[in-house]
Amino acid sequence: MKRRRFLRQLGGGALVAGVALGAGCGGQDKPADKSAASAGRAAFKPLNWKMVTTWPKNFPGLGTGANRLAELITQMSGGRITVKVYGARELVPPFEVFDAVSSGIAELGHGSAYYWKGKSEAAQFFSAVPFGLTADEMNAWLYHGGGMELWHETYAPFGLVPMAAGNTGVQMAGWFNREINTLEDLKGLKMRIPGLGGEVLARAGGLPVSLPGGELFTSLQSGAIDATEWVNPYNDLAFGLYKAAKYYYYPGWHEPGTTLECMVNKPAFDALPEELQIIVRNAARVANQDMLTEYIARNNQALQTLVNDHQVDVRKLPDTVLDRLRDLSDQVVAEVAEKDDLSRRVYESFRDFRTQVMQWSDISARAYLNARAG
């Protein structure tokens, strides 16, 4: 009898010790901490957050990616944060998302960092760089190569906390109403193309135009622009761009792995308990991966629809054009680094990481794809 009582006491003590050890803190403090945490959650007043986006409401991939992030934050927080999504122009115009979140009009914004080069030249590196990083390489730089720390530094003066929240993968070069056979064909070309890609086009003699997604079809159809890049077959089919242009060119030299962002108003973020901050950050990481896999799954089906049902003329840009665009890209990107100290440091980090990762990509992904193709 005494032996059984001793074993019960020993088992109970071991259980308490095991819980304390697993928690990484003393057994004396854990019950109080757990009780305090439960009381804190019970006393927490649920928040209703607004997310403004640069995308049309519910637009496939981009708009639905913003919706998915909002759902994840709401679900993972157990309803302690409820997020309502506003499409472009529902609350603010698409290119005013940055200012809206910075000023606190909305707690969250969903867009892409190259739209904000007027705020900071360095911002463009966290979206897409011509002939830059693929989606996997971009995530590697952000999460494990120092990119995220530099992104936080870039947005800090504006009271924003940036997070990667999606990626389109390699994009198409775009829709054109003229053939591109030589570099001369780019001269005078009015093309909707944002960010650093637009600077490269200008250097090649083209005329870059900045337009939100919702205006692309009518601008292309009316002749206000001669060409437009948007994203890839999944998105381009949804916009019906095949009805307004003759030629569909690849590859997307200007956006090889475009990161979509979630920006959070910093005072709103800092006011959250630590566990909710972790939830918001991890919801963005889930959304980041989810969008990329959706694009990979949907693009080929959409491409087959464009080619087989709508007889779209899909063409590769000539190597001579791509070679010249690559040279111009190197010049443009290097010049951005000369704008200010922050841009220089971001550029050097991005450049050095690309140089290193290319060596691995060449003997891994590229070598395998070539071998698979036969």
Do 320 and 183 meet the contact criterion of CB atoms below 8 Å apart?
yes
Work out the angle at residue 291's Cα, subtended by the Cα atoms of residues 286 and 294, and round it to the nearest 5 degrees: 125
What architecture is the 45-166+258-295 domain classified under in CATH?
3-Layer(aba) Sandwich (3.40)
Instruction: Give the span between the Cα atoms of 371 and 374, in whole angstroms.
Output: 5
Main-chain dihedrals φ then ψ at residue 349, nearest 5 degrees: -65, -45
What is the predicted pLDDT for the residue at 35?
53
- From first to last of its 374 residues, what are the pLDDT tens digits of the chain? 433 443 334 344 333 333 333 333 333 344 445 554 555 565 679 999 999 999 999 999 999 999 999 999 999 999 999 999 999 999 999 999 999 999 999 999 999 999 999 999 999 999 999 999 999 999 999 999 999 999 999 999 999 999 999 999 999 999 999 999 999 999 999 999 999 999 999 999 999 999 998 899 999 999 999 999 999 999 999 999 999 999 999 999 999 999 999 999 999 999 999 999 999 999 999 999 999 999 999 999 999 999 999 999 999 999 999 999 999 999 999 999 999 999 999 999 999 999 999 999 999 999 999 999 99
Main-chain dihedrals φ then ψ at residue 176, nearest 5 degrees: -130, 145
Main-chain dihedrals φ then ψ at residue 266, nearest 5 degrees: -65, -45
* Residue 108: closest CA among 73, 152, 151, 149: 73
Paired residues of 264 in beta bridges: 108, 161
Using the structure block, give the residue that is written with the tokens 């250097």: 203
How crowded is the C-beta side of 190, counted as CA atoms within 13 Å? 10
What pTM, to 2 d.p., does this model score? Answer: 0.87
What is the predicted pLDDT for the residue at 214?
87
Q: Using H for helix, E for strand and C for coil, what is the string for the chain?
A: CHHHHHHHHHHHHHHHHHHHHHHCCCCCCHHHHHHHHHHHHHHCCCEEEEEEECCCCCCCCHHHHHHHHHHHHHHHCCCCEEEEEECCCCCCCHHHHHHHHHHCCCCEEEECHHHHCCCCHHHHHHCCCCCCCCHHHHHHHHHHCCHHHHHHHHHHHHCEEEEEEEECCCCCCEEECCCCCCHHHHCCCEEECCHHHHHHHHHCCCEEECCCHHHHHHHHHHCCCCEECCCCHHHHHHHCHHHCCCEEEECCCCCCCCEEEEEEEHHHHHCCCHHHHHHHHHHHHHHHHHHHHHHHHHHHHHHHHHHHHCCCEEEECCHHHHHHHHHHHHHHHHHHCCCCHHHHHHHHHHHHHHHHHHHHHHHHHHHHHHHHHC
Do 215 and 151 meet the contact criterion of CB atoms below 8 Å apart?
no
Paired residues of 120 in beta bridges: none
What is the predicted pLDDT for the residue at 41?
61
Instruction: Give the span between the Cα atoms of 35 and 43, in whole angstroms.
Output: 12
Report whether the peptide linkage leading into residue 46 is cis, meaning its omega lies within 30 degrees of zero. Answer: no
Instruction: Give the span between the Cα atoms of 256 and 234, in whole angstroms.
Output: 16
